[in-house]
Amino acid sequence: MKIDILTLFPEFFKVLTDFSIIGRALEKGLFSFNTINIRDFSKDKHKRVDDYPFGGGPGMVMKPEPIYDALMSVKSNNSFVIYLSPQGRLYNQEIAKDLANKKHLILICGHYEGIDNRIVENYVDMELSIGDYVLTGGEIPAMVVVDSIVRLLPGVLSSEESYMYESHYNGLLEYPQYTRPREFKGLKVPEVLLSGDHEKISKWRKYQSLKNTYIKRPDLLEKTKLTEEEIAMLEEIKS
């Protein structure tokens, strides 16, 4: 996969690419990552990329020309263009899994009062929002999207299991996790996890995953197709 970020602040992304799993994946060549400074494409002598909105109103709007030129400098036939916007689809794991299959992603980070809508209407394939709130710019949402996608790419995590049982991957929240010591301040690890019985452990984890979801995010259960065994477990949890 190739990922290009159109931004006014390329330095923002060093924290993403220099550390942790994403940085290691880059070193291994599992994906390529590039930032494009939109300001470099401004034809204004002061490198301005914004102007007052037509019709009046507060703030400034990012001009279409620099964004278009920056976009065309990296866009190809297999590119999928995303604009990070509070008006976009609410980002979730299903979208992340879908985007992880794309060959080339281009993410546009807006600022001020947003970008000229002619770019959004004519050159953007998807608007994405990471939540129902407003941030200063699109850089943090872009980092969220990149991180969540890259970790799904083959070879990035140590094994497929590393993400298959995580919260939201199968529509449910993850089961509780424990590690050493077996007892901490009088609190013990559930005995089933020490039993060595993998069938019992698997059943316990499925039950706890459903319980976590029912208590913390019951809305997810409405969107998830459950097996007969899971439905029976859920009825027991509810009772």
Among candidates 65, 61, 113, which has minimal Cα distance to 86? 113
Q: Is the peptide bond before 190 cis (omega within 30 degrees of 0)?
A: no
Q: Can you give the pLDDT at residue 160? A: 55
**Each residue's pLDDT tens digit in the chain (239 positions)?**
999 999 999 999 998 888 788 999 999 999 999 999 999 999 999 999 999 999 999 999 999 999 999 999 999 999 999 999 999 999 999 999 999 999 999 999 999 999 999 999 999 999 999 999 999 999 999 999 999 999 999 999 976 546 666 667 788 999 999 999 999 999 999 999 999 999 999 999 999 999 999 999 999 999 899 999 999 999 999 99
Q: What is the DSSP string of 101-142?
A: T-SEEEEEE--TT-B-HHHHHHH-SEEEESSSS--S-SHHHH
**Residue 57, C-beta contacts closer than 8 angstroms, at least 6 positions apart:** 113
What spatial distance separates the first Cα and last Cα of the chain, rounded to whole Å? 47
Q: Can you give the pLDDT at residue 165? A: 67
Q: Are 186 and 192 in contact (CB under 8 A)?
A: no
**Residue 132, C-beta contacts closer than 8 angstroms, at least 6 positions apart:** 86, 90
Q: Can you give the pLDDT at residue 19? A: 79
Q: Are 51 and 22 in contact (CB under 8 A)?
A: no
Q: Are 100 and 152 in contact (CB under 8 A)?
A: yes
Q: Can you give the pLDDT at residue 161? A: 47
Q: Could you tell me the pTM of the whole model?
A: 0.89
Q: Are 88 and 55 in contact (CB under 8 A)?
A: no
Q: Can you give the pLDDT at residue 169? A: 75
In the chain, the domains with their CATH numbers are: 2-150 (3.40.1280.10), 165-238 (1.10.1270.20)
